[in-house]
Structure 1
Amino acid sequence: MAQLGKASSKKGKPSYVGAIVGVAVVLFLFGIVGWFFLNLRKTGDYFKESIQVHTYLSAQAGKKQIDSLTQYITALPYANRVEYVNKEKAMQKWNTEYDSSWKQILDNNPLPESIDFYVKADHVEKDSLNMLATNLQMTFPGTIASFQFPTETVAKVSKAVKLGAGFFLVAAIILTIIVVFSIDNTIRLAMYSNRFLIKTMQMVGATRGFIAKPINQRAVVNGLIASAIAILLVWLTVILVENLVPDFKLLHDNAGLMVLFLIIIILGVTITLLSTHRAVIKYLRMKLDDLY
């Protein structure tokens, strides 16, 4: 029986190599699409978090009120880069972004003081920002003159991100189905070359569990090897693209990549194991004449 097991290992190597390569290629394609999905999400978050919110202060607001409002906004878990902009800073920003020709017409600085900040992507929605404005104005009555953010930009960015995410979600589901069937077919072709060996082991008295166990264990190893190859190829592709297009480095998401790599490993091992086990059981149930 041990000799049969050794023979199985030797005869199975060529087909296993082909199966590993085939599975690795399919998982690599899945990983690339997954990486593009991560980039889309990060791109949407990047644009959302680059939208600045302006809390313009009332001319009657005192320093204590302004400090309290600044501290309150800074403490919000979804507020980023909070900055108090006094009249001098407001004038400098205006002159930098536009021009200083207004000085020829006006003697006094007409620009109001403000507290400017950015909001984390999850809260960049028109309704969320309107609720924030209402909350701030109720909490600090008389301190805030107006609360402004680019409404149309927020709506357009949110809509574009949702459409893109929906498209890639559908594509990911379709691709996952294709991956499952592709890996299953690859494994079945690999196991086809071992069908007589499996049947021979059964005919000399080996139990189903005895036959399936080493093959299943090898399937797990093959799945891990294929996943490792796919992950390495995806990682090298990411590095190459980021070096060729530096802007992609702004979208780099290590946490997202780790999740993607974990999914690749789970897919590679699970589908390889299930497909292998199913093929073994199939050949064990078949009659010898049906194997030809």
Structure 2
Amino acid sequence: MGKSFEQYQKQKLISSYFSVVLSIALVLFLLGILGLLVINTKKMADHFKEQITISIFLKDEAKESEIDQLQKNLLQAEHTKSAVFVSKEEAAEQHSEEIGEDFQNFLGYNPLKNSIDLQLRADYVTPQEIDSLATTLAQKTYIEEVSYDKPLVGLLSENVKRISFWILIASGVLTFIAILLINSSIRLSIYSKRFIIKTMQMVGATKTFIRRPFIWMNIKLGMFGALTALLALTGILYYLDQNFPELELFKDMEQLGMLYAAIFVLGIFISLISTFFATQRFLNLRTDELYY
């Protein structure tokens, strides 16, 4: 009978630990998915921003040395992703391909200008930055016009801000829910040991001494839960990378490493805080209150 009861208690304890690990793993896995969404949303937004082209049209009398120096200065600037010189002949050829006929035969001359197609790094693609750059470039005497799709830049910036805001709200809400769920699982596991806690307290054990094994155990459970979540997240990443290589999910390992570290630390931190307050609650209860 004694062995049977002992085995039952052991199975109950393992079941309690398993439920805590599973709860932590599921919640942290969802947080990891949201983190991946945040990272890749920024990647996609940056990709679209860097496709915006600023066309710098040059006057016919612009000297070759001036054009070369301008292109060199643009390439050396920290805001520049690329600066490609496009001759009027190349521009005419591209335009003819787009419209399906040679417009020069109809006009009798090439009205297009030599130009430099400038693309900026994503962080600098804002209406203010581009307006400032366009104004500075337009002051040069050999530049005829600086052209870009101003409404598109404004719309893109607004949409990126809006999406980032709602993702931030979703992250905050999900993190709060994660804390509540993990806290509830840990409190339930400690609730089953409330009489042991009170017995230890009655025989003279200090609160710190009583809390220590519970905190250490649940920190370990938090670590196991975090590792389980990270393994599942890695599996999802590997599957997506194999089927959608264009996403380049493993390209930025630094950000991915930071996300993994954040999930692991969050699992430990939430377990630590939840265990501390859960044990503190039962330590402060009177003996007769343990039955309710």
Q: Shared topology, TM-score over 0.5? A: yes
Q: Does 1:129 align with 2:97?
A: no
Counterparts of 1:101-250 in structure 2 under 5 Å?
Answer: 101-138=102-139, 141-249=140-248
User: CA offsets per residue over residues 78-115 of structure 1, 9 Å max, x none?
Assistant: 11121111223223332343334213213433221111
Q: Distance in 1 between matches of 2:198 and 2:27?
A: 30
User: CA offsets per residue over residues 177-235 of structure 1, 9 Å max, x none?
Assistant: 11111111111111112222222322333222222122212222222221111122122
The number of residues matched between the two structures is: 283
Gapped runs of 5+ residues in structure 2? 1-8
User: CA offsets per residue over residues 145-179 of structure 1, 9 Å max, x none?
Assistant: 11111112112211211111111111111111111
Q: Distance in 2 between matches of 1:19 and 1:51?
A: 49
The residue type equivalent to 2:229 in the other structure is A
Q: Distance in 2 between matches of 1:201 and 1:11?
A: 21
Gapped runs of 5+ residues in structure 1? 1-7
Q: Name 1:53's counterpart in structure 2.
A: 54
Which is worse superposed, 246-255 or 25-34? 246-255
Do the aligned partners of residues 162 and 123 (structure 1) sit closer, same or farther apart at CA in structure 2, a change above 3 Å counting? same
Q: Distance in 2 between matches of 1:70 and 1:32?
A: 42
Q: Name 1:287's counterpart in structure 2.
A: 286
The residue type equivalent to 1:87 in the other structure is K
Q: Name 1:273's counterpart in structure 2.
A: 272
The answer on whether the counterparts of 1:43 and 1:251 sit within 8 Å (CA) in structure 2 is no
Q: Does 1:29 align with 2:19?
A: no
The answer on whether the counterparts of 1:87 and 1:111 sit within 8 Å (CA) in structure 2 is yes
Compute the displacement of 1:11 (Å). Answer: 7.2
Which is worse superposed, 8-17 or 19-28? 8-17
Which structure has more relative contact order (CA 8 Å, sep 6+)? It is: 1
User: CA offsets per residue over residues 238-277 of structure 1, 9 Å max, x none?
Assistant: 2223333444337964333223223222321111101111
Give the alignment's TM-score, normalised by structure 1: 0.89
Q: Distance in 1 between matches of 2:266 and 2:103?
A: 63
Indicate the RMSD between aligned Cα atoms, in angstroms.
2.2
Q: Name 1:3's counterpart in structure 2.
A: none
Q: Does 1:255 align with 2:234?
A: no
Q: Distance in 2 between matches of 1:86 and 1:236?
A: 49
The answer on whether the counterparts of 1:11 and 1:194 sit within 8 Å (CA) in structure 2 is no
Compute the displacement of 1:288 (Å). Answer: 2.8
The residue type equivalent to 2:264 in the other structure is I
Q: Does 1:71 align with 2:72?
A: yes
User: CA offsets per residue over residues 13-51 of structure 1, 9 Å max, x none?
Assistant: 432221011111011111112222222222111111111
For the residue of structure 2 that corresponds to 1:109, the secondary structure is coil
Do the aligned partners of residues 9 and 199 (structure 1) sit closer, same or farther apart at CA in structure 2, a change above 3 Å counting? farther
Which is worse superposed, 45-54 or 216-225? 216-225
For the residue of structure 2 that corresponds to 1:105, the secondary structure is helix
Q: Distance in 2 between matches of 1:75 and 1:239?
A: 37
Q: Name 1:92's counterpart in structure 2.
A: 93
Q: Distance in 2 between matches of 1:29 and 1:186?
A: 17
The answer on whether the counterparts of 2:96 and 2:103 sit within 8 Å (CA) in structure 1 is no
User: CA offsets per residue over residues 44-63 of structure 1, 9 Å max, x none?
Assistant: 11111111111111111101
The residue type equivalent to 1:184 in the other structure is N
Q: Distance in 2 between matches of 1:98 and 1:269?
A: 62
The answer on whether the counterparts of 2:28 and 2:263 sit within 8 Å (CA) in structure 1 is yes
The residue type equivalent to 1:200 in the other structure is T
Which is worse superposed, 151-160 or 269-278? 151-160
